[in-house]
Amino acid sequence: MPALTYKYLFLFSALLLFFGCTPEEAGEDKEAEAILSLPDRPNILWLVAEDLSPFIPSFGDSTIQTPNISRLAAEGICYDNFFSPSPVCAPSRAAISTGMYPTHIGANHMRTGPWYANISDEEAAKRSQFMPEGISFYEAVPPAGVKMMSEVLRGAGYYCTNNAKMDYQFRPSVMAWDESGRQAHWRNRDPNQPFFAVFNFEVTHESRIWRKAEDSLWVDPNLQVPIPPYLPDTEVGVKDVRRMYSNIREMDFQIGEVLKQLEEDGLLDSTIIFWYTDHGGPLPRHKRLLYDSGLKVPLIIRFPGKQMAQTRNDDLLSFIDLAPTTFSLAGVTSDYPLDGQAFLGPQARKEKRKYIRAAADRFDAQYDTNRAIRDKRYKYIRYYQPEKSMFLPVAYREQMAIMRELHRLRESGEITEIQAQWFRAQKPKEELFDTQSDPHEIKDLAQDPAYQAILAELSAECDRWVNSFEDTGLMPEPELIEKLWPSQKAPIVESPIAEMSNGKLTLSCPTEGASLAFRFKSADVQDEGASSWQVYTKPIDLEAGQQVEFIADRIGYKASTIATYNP
């Protein structure tokens, strides 16, 4: 890899000082270094834990120790205001992979289909029972030209791997990854090629609370754990919260194993490492709700050479910012407009984000329509269907013992006033919380005269956001499906066209926004999804008699048939 180095300036306002990640890790408070020195095409590694709020020492929770994550924090930047635009995984992953709001691309309902795996028709039918009656599987369809970020990076020469989650609300195109699966790894590339590698850690997922309930613990069996006021402080409740911390500890070990491999390969100081989680925590009133417990997540970034080590950043950041920031650090530009903005690298926006925005719509068979706006202190939530109960049962979550314990307490009359808030028969039209003085978002200030100016400001921003594009959660889902997949059928990408001139093969496709891929024909290549597909970015040089296969694809569409150029 070329040794060319560039430097760029981070512009922070006087208010945005960086401090040590924890008193133990940081030593004295200090302002961050403003200059970074990076290779022209650094390796980029994403370590993504599932279903986890900032329940770790680097973000103020010292219940357990996480030595590997704490190492990253001590050697990098901790971001204290990082948010998902959705409190559940599939819409969140759609935002991560495209840089677009889920409500902008039809990815807002959880979930649109079993796109995260190649499953049988029988399994698809089984999973369809979690869909509302009359709603069939479909895919999100972003505006023409929107690509998965990994495809953009592949087109720029990166080797892109995903290990192994793929529920994006759409099938990834054949151009998306060099490898995606349990064996996907940067080690499978040409050593001279820069990589973008994603590793997902499922041990902290909601389902592991009940699936691992009887497993041995990674923590002291008598560990004292904090119980938030909205959860039951009973033997059942404590057991599930303790399991959550045990799973975090196990995840930290798994993070350490990947870091060990990076060091064994001598790549630690040529790689930018992101560690974050895909939305808020796994427990009741975390996942699926628009409170910070469902949206706010930790983010740590470690740079080569420990640049900017032991620093903190409190800028408001969203998942939609991950794609443009990664492009910026990699020296890559996208050819389509993104909802997000880069916060690092030469493409970083000088103006800081004033608000984060989030949405919650259908979860399995339960419809609701809620939107949230948050600045650095106040959270505004709008409920479009206030006649519905605040609590909507989700069959998947009901498998958790602590959820069943909440039901038991409610039915026996033992539930506390705070716990009972979630079970109100109706919702207010809007809520307002001071997240600084009320981090659990218990005290609604929407009717308080002292906060009417803040309420009006955030309500107006909610109006502006949902009207800035066609919010796909504000239309009936059958209407959305008809818009995306007319007659409930996936649109099909038209056949690509090949033209030969002066020894170069030029490819095109009549379908607006379609991407193209090619591979040199070989008897060894039979699978149209094989990693041998190369992203088409410029005319292809051909040797005499050389045959080429090519294909066109677009997110939310069915790929074209494979065509062959045969001299």
Q: Indicate if 464 and 546 belong to the same structural domain.
A: no
CATH number of the domain that residue 426 is part of? 3.30.1120
Q: Indicate if 404 and 464 belong to the same structural domain.
A: yes
Q: Which residues pair with residue 317 across a beta bridge?
A: 82
Q: Indicate if 541 and 517 belong to the same structural domain.
A: yes
Angle, helices 235-264 vs 401-412, to 10°: value is 160
Is 450 part of any domain? Answer: yes
Between 190 and 503, the more confident residue is: 190
Q: How confident is the model at residue 523, as a pLDDT?
A: 53
Mean pLDDT of 258-278: 97
Mean pLDDT of 97-106: 98
State the total domains in the chain.
Answer: 2
Q: How confident is the model at residue 531, as a pLDDT?
A: 56
Mean pLDDT of the chain: 91
Percent of the chain with pLDDT over 70: 91
Q: How confident is the model at residue 36, as a pLDDT?
A: 80
Angle, helices 89-98 vs 322-330, to 10°: value is 30
Distance between CA atoms of residues 462 and 53, nearest Å? 24
Q: How confident is the model at residue 32, as a pLDDT?
A: 37
Between 29 and 347, the more confident residue is: 347
* pLDDT digits 0-9 by tens, 190-241: 999 999 999 999 999 999 999 999 999 999 999 999 999 999 999 999 999 9
Is 556 part of any domain? Answer: yes
Q: How confident is the model at residue 131, as a pLDDT?
A: 82
312, pLDDT greater than 50 = yes
From the centroid of its chain, how far is CA 107?
12
Q: Indicate if 372 and 481 belong to the same structural domain.
A: yes
> Which of 6-20, 234-248, 400-414 bottoms out in mean pLDDT, i.e. has the lowest?
6-20
Q: Domain of 532?
A: 497-565
Is 560 part of any domain? Answer: yes
Mean pLDDT of 262-281: 97
Between 195 and 130, the more confident residue is: 195
- Is it true that the peptide bond before 111 is cis, omega within 30 degrees of 0? yes
Mean pLDDT of 459-486: 97
Is 269 part of any domain? Answer: no
- Please enumerate in sequence order all residues whose Cβ is within 8 A of that of 527, keeping only pairs 6 or more positions apart, or say none: none
Give the global pTM. 0.92
Tell which of 485, 506, 524 closes a domain.
Answer: 485
Helices (H) and strands (E) in the chain, counts: 14, 22
Is 396 part of any domain? Answer: yes
* pLDDT digits 0-9 by tens, 159-193: 999 998 988 999 999 999 999 999 999 999 999 99
500, pLDDT greater than 60 = yes
Q: In what order do the strands lie in the sheet with 515-520?
A: 534-535, 515-520, 548-553, 563-565
Is 528 part of any domain? Answer: yes
Mean pLDDT of 425-454: 98
Q: Indicate if 472 and 503 belong to the same structural domain.
A: no
Residue identified by tokens 């357990």 is 64
Tell which of 485, 516, 531 closes a domain.
Answer: 485
For residue 230, which phi and psi values (nearest 5 degrees)?
-90, 0
- Write down the catalytic residue from 89, 160, 462, 509: 89
Q: Indicate if 467 and 520 belong to the same structural domain.
A: no
Q: Is 159 helix (H, G, I), strand (E, B) or coil?
A: strand
Tell which of 438, 460, 485 closes a domain.
Answer: 485
Smallest CA-to-CA distance from 228 within 294, 136, 130 is with 294
Distance between CA atoms of residues 504 and 515, nearest Å? 19
CATH number of the domain that residue 503 is part of? 2.60.40.10
89 is catalytic: yes
Is 118 part of any domain? Answer: no
